[in-house]
Structure 1
Amino acid sequence: MSYIEFRNINKYYGSNQVLKNISLNIEKGQFVTLLGPSGCGKSTLLRCLAGLEEISSGHIFMDGNDITNLEPKDRNIGMVFQHYSLFPNMTVEENIAFGLKIKKRPATEIKEKVQTALEMVELHGKEKYYPDSLSGGQQQRVALARSIVQEPKVLLLDEPLSAIDAKLRKSLQNSIKEVHQKLGLTSIFVTHDQDEAMVMSDVIHLFHDGRVEQSSDPITMYTSPVSKFAASFIGNYNLLTPEEFNIITMQKNNLTSGVAIRPETLQITPNKPVTDDEYIFSGVIMDNTPKGNVLQYHVNVKSVILKVDVLFRSKVLFPNGTKVYLSVADKNCIRL
């Protein structure tokens, strides 16, 4: 049996069904991400695991035990929220120690564990600071330390970085992964940011409308989406109808569903390439957009607009209006 098992989970709010017969397994020591747009059910499932929401039907197992009806305090689960929820009248060390004091742990043990947690989240020296004198990132580190000091079996993180600026998010992503690895935790992370999920996860469960659309490791999730939704949410695919795909390839493929092509798998050249094992088609550059170290072209191929990504070399390689040739291997045309 898996370390955590959700078995046929349904959750209703009145007549609104938020979770629709969800079954998924999480192995011990994994860093798992629940990914999806707002309102898809990912945070609700997390709160059900923590015991903060009651499920309408189904069962939740952890370490072989049915915890469906256990009180939150009896589940030994730590949780970090989007909003830090720190006590403003307590110092950093008092916030971190609060749960241990409630459990009436010895003072020496509390002091030792608080110091260890502070060092782990790189806040040593901030013990006497109050939350309002800390940055948002530092406050989130305190919230993380407050959870891990309890030595939970499972650490839940509900969009903890969504209110943090982009540069600091990368630093906190690293901190969270380091804490996860050092403590050997089983961690479940909720986010709507696909880049964040790709960087941090061992396994991603992609949610859509209360169901799990796809479950896989990040590379498989990116390279082999199982549906139009998965392809549109992960990465930046060109999504083509069967008719559009047949038009640009001048083939009569007997397709019943769409085709997804990653922009970076399309090769762009000024002259027609010589190859027998790729689709080749011509088009006209309509627009170009710098995206960091990548330049994205929009190419009009028989009224079908394709995105093509190339490494950015500080200048536009092809001016707008230029006729170009595109080529792509069939293996990179993913049937959905």
Structure 2
Amino acid sequence: MFDFSVVTHWIDTLLRQWLPEWGALLIEFVLVGVVLLLLYAVIALVLIYAERKVCAFFQCRLGPNRVGPYGIFQSVADMLKILIKELIEIKHIDRFLFNLAPFLVILSSMLAFGCMPFGKGLIAIDFNIGVFFIMAVSSIGVLGILLAGWSSNNKFTLIGAMRSGAQMISYELSIGLSMLTVVVFAGTMQTSGIIEAQNRGWFLFTGHIPMLVAFIIYLIAGTAETNRGPFDLPEAESELTAGYHTEYSGIHFGFYYLAEYLNMFIVSGIASLLFLGGWMPFHIGGWDAFNQVMDYIPSVIWFFGKTAVVMFIIMWFKWTFPRLRIDQLLHLEWKYLVPIGLINLLVMTLVVVFGLHF
């Protein structure tokens, strides 16, 4: 399997031949930032189009079909439209916090996006505490939502922000417990180490029942964490107009729109990293010929393929189940998911201590 670190090391060596160390590092940082921003925008546009088509499929419609063949340029047209929209000035608001909030949401998703292992040797941030870092930076997003709801000086936005804060802070516990279950099984918090530990089999298949339970909890909590249906109470159109971003327009609204879809990609990418081997091909211990055939498929295709499957499941949730009430949503977390997650973590610890896994 091709290792992209060969390309990155070649670029690093080339820059260091012509520039001092600080200049080479500066150019590398700029290149990584530009590539991540471009990838961020492209993935968001693709996901917006994909969700419209998936929604249309479930509702027996066609979806976008006017701009370009099969409507593939509809998302691009919408992006250009939102970029030229006027930023409407709202009176009686906290202007500084109102303008800051969208950037906090984008900052949070961008930092977590940089931790995604897109392929073998193709990762921007690979700390030895990678899982902890992902959990920390993804928690910044709730600050942007709370500030947006409060600074807008609107009852609908405030209620939406309070709902979102309660929901995201609650479901972060279940996501954290699911991640801890994987960390206990893998024995490392480094993302590349977790992927390498799945060389002989993805954790979803080698981790017994505790890993399956952690995966299911993660999918439910991850869907709630991204404020998507059936957990989209912070943006409930029938009750709160658009929730915490009701008063936003133009590019500021676009930031929230982009962050929602990128957060779905990040949640799905972390799911593939933790449970489905990330970029690691499907290997079966002892089946050397089969494993060699799997290795011919590029690592980038493995990662995006697994992530796409998880994203489809999350979309399936949204367009299948009705929206929950806020009390039902919090009861599901505190009375069911958290206790099950704690017991599951204890069981996984016993499995690892006594060597009961494959």
What is the TM-score of this pair, normalised by structure 2?
Answer: 0.26
Larger RCO: 1 or 2 (CA < 8 Å, sep 6+)? 2
Larger-gyration structure (1/2): 1
Greater strand fraction, Structure 1 or Structure 2: 1
